[in-house]
Amino acid sequence: MKNIANIPDNGKQRVVIAGGGFAGLKLARALKKSRFQVVLLDKNNYHQFQPLFYQVATAGLEPSAISFPLRKVFQEQPDIHFRVATLDRVDTEKQVIRTDIGSLHYDYLVLALGATTNYFGNDNIRQNAVPMKSLTEAIDLRNTILSNFELALNETDAETRKSLLNIVIVGGGPTGVELAGALAEMKKYILPKDYPELDFNQMKISLLEASDKVLNGYSEASSRKAKAYLEKLDVEVRLKAMVKDYDGSQVMLEGADPLETHTLIWAAGVKANSVPGMPEEAAGRGGRLVVNEFTQVKGFDNIFAIGDMALMTADKKYPNGHPQVAQVAMQQAALLGKNLNSEKKKGFRYTDKGSLATVGRNLAVADLPGLRFQGFFAWVLWLFVHLMAILGVKNRLIVFINWAWSYFTYDQSLRLLINPKRKSSAKLVEEEV
C-alpha cells in the first residue's frame, strides 16, 4: 500500500494521533512547537462539539456553529500535518498504521477515536432507531422529526398520526435528559405555531431509563430535580424501563405495554470504536483499550489510548474506568503531551471539576466539588461553561446570538428540512444525453 503523500521524514520522531475529538485535538495543540513531527488523522475535516449535538437536532443551532475546521487550528504549524482519513488497521510489529488513503510509519501512536453508539447486539434497534453520536446523525435526527410532522399533517388515521407525533428517547443520561427538555420546549412554544392544524396535546415525549434514576453519576438531589423539571415540562419519565425491541413503529418493553412511535432516539449507551490490529488482550470492558497510569496501552510502550477509548483502572476512585466525558479526555491529553516532552513521567489522576446538565429554559442542575445547586443559576453556569468551551470567537458569538434570540422570542429559525440526495451515475448520464 502506498504511503500517505507529502508527509516528509524530517528527522524528528513522529507522533500519529488518530482522532480529532476533544482528546486528539488537545494533544496535537499541546505538541505544537515540540521536538516531534505530529500527524493528526480524522474522518472529518472539522472538530465537532458533541455536548451541543442535541441543539442541532432540535433546530436550536446550525451545524456550523458547533464545528471548527481542524486545518484552521494548525495554520502556521509546519510540523503538524492533518489528513482526512479513516484508520483501517494498526500493524504493531512494523509500527505502521494503514488507512483508506495510505500507510504511515509511527514512532508513537495515540488512539483517540472516541466512542460510538452501543445497541447491545439488537439489530432491529440499530436499523430503526436514530442515534446522535455525530453531527451528521444530529442533522438526520432533525430531518426525521420534521419529516414525521409533515407526514402527520396529511395522515387521516388518528392512531398513525399520534405515532408520527410521539417521540421516545431511550437513555436517561445527560444527552437524553437535555434532548427531552429541548423537545418539550419545542412542543410547548414552537410547534403549535408551525403546525396549527395539528393537535399537540396528542403528542407524547417519553424518556425511558433502565436504572432507577435519571442522570446516573450525579447527586441524588440533582437526579430528583432533573426528573421533576422534565415532568414539569410534560415529559413522561419511565424508570426501570427496559427496551426489548423496536420495529420502526412499536417500542417493545419488558413487562409493559408497547409504545407507539415512528421516532425512537437511542441514547442508552456507548462503546469504544474498535481498532483492527490491536491484540485481544488489550481490550477491556465496553471495547475500551486497557491502559496504565501513563495511558500506555497494555503490552506497548509507544502506543497510547486517551479519552473515551481508554480504560484505566489504576485510579482507586474509578475502579471501572473514568467516565467517558470531555474533561477526562482533555486532562489525559494534556498530561500525555507533557509526558512525551519530558524525561520524567507523571501518572494520571483525574480532577473532577463537576457536572452540569440543562433541562430547559432557566432549568439546570450543577454538581460542583463541595457545592450543588439547581435552577436559574445552574442554567446560567451551564450556558457560560459550554459557550467558553466552543472553538473560535465567531462560533461563540453565533451560538450566543442564537441562544439570546431563542430566549427572548421563544422561537428558533433553523427548522430546515434538508435531505441531500446524490444523483446516480446513470441519472447523470441520462441527463447529459
Crossing angle of helices 22-30 and 326-340, rounded to 10°:
30
Question: What number is the average pLDDT over the span 128-136?
Answer: 94
Domain(s) labelled CATH 3.50.50.100 in the chain stretch across 123-268
What confidence score (pLDDT) does residue 420 get?
Answer: 58
What confidence score (pLDDT) does residue 11 get?
Answer: 87
Domain(s) labelled CATH 3.50.50.60 in the chain stretch across 13-43+85-117+270-340
% of the chain beyond a pLDDT of 70: 96
| CB hemisphere CA count around 106 (13 angstroms) | 26
Which architecture characterizes domain 123-268 according to CATH?
3-Layer(bba) Sandwich (3.50)
Asked if residue 329 lies in contact with residue 21, where contact means CB atoms within 8 angstroms, the answer is yes
Question: What number is the average pLDDT over the span 395-422?
Answer: 83
Asked if residue 271 lies in contact with residue 286, where contact means CB atoms within 8 angstroms, the answer is yes
Q: Which helix (H) or strand (E) holds 428?
A: helix 425-432
**b/e per residue, 119-153, with b = 16+ CB within 10 A?**
beebeebeebbbbbbbbebbbbbbbbbbebbeebe
Which architecture characterizes domain 13-43+85-117+270-340 according to CATH?
3-Layer(bba) Sandwich (3.50)
Q: Which residue has the cell 509511527?
A: 106
What confidence score (pLDDT) does residue 1 get?
Answer: 60
**Average pLDDT of every residue of the chain:** 92
Judged against a pLDDT cut of 80, whether residue 65 lies above it is answered with yes
Q: Which cell numbers in the block locate residue 373? A: 445547586
One-letter amino acid identity for 60?
A: G
Res. 237 pLDDT band, cuts 50 70 90: very high
CA 76 to chain centre: 29
Supply the residues annotated as catalytic.
Answer: 178
- Rounded (5°) CA angle 160-163-164: 90
Q: Which cell numbers in the block locate residue 346? A: 507523571
**Over the stretch 87-127, which tens digit does the pLDDT of each residue have?**
999 999 999 999 999 999 999 999 999 999 999 999 999 99
What confidence score (pLDDT) does residue 429 get?
Answer: 39
Q: State which of 161-165, 409-413, 415-419 shows the largest mean pLDDT.
A: 161-165
Question: What number is the average pLDDT over the span 413-430?
Answer: 57
First to last CA, the chain: 38
Q: Which residue has the cell 513522529?
A: 14
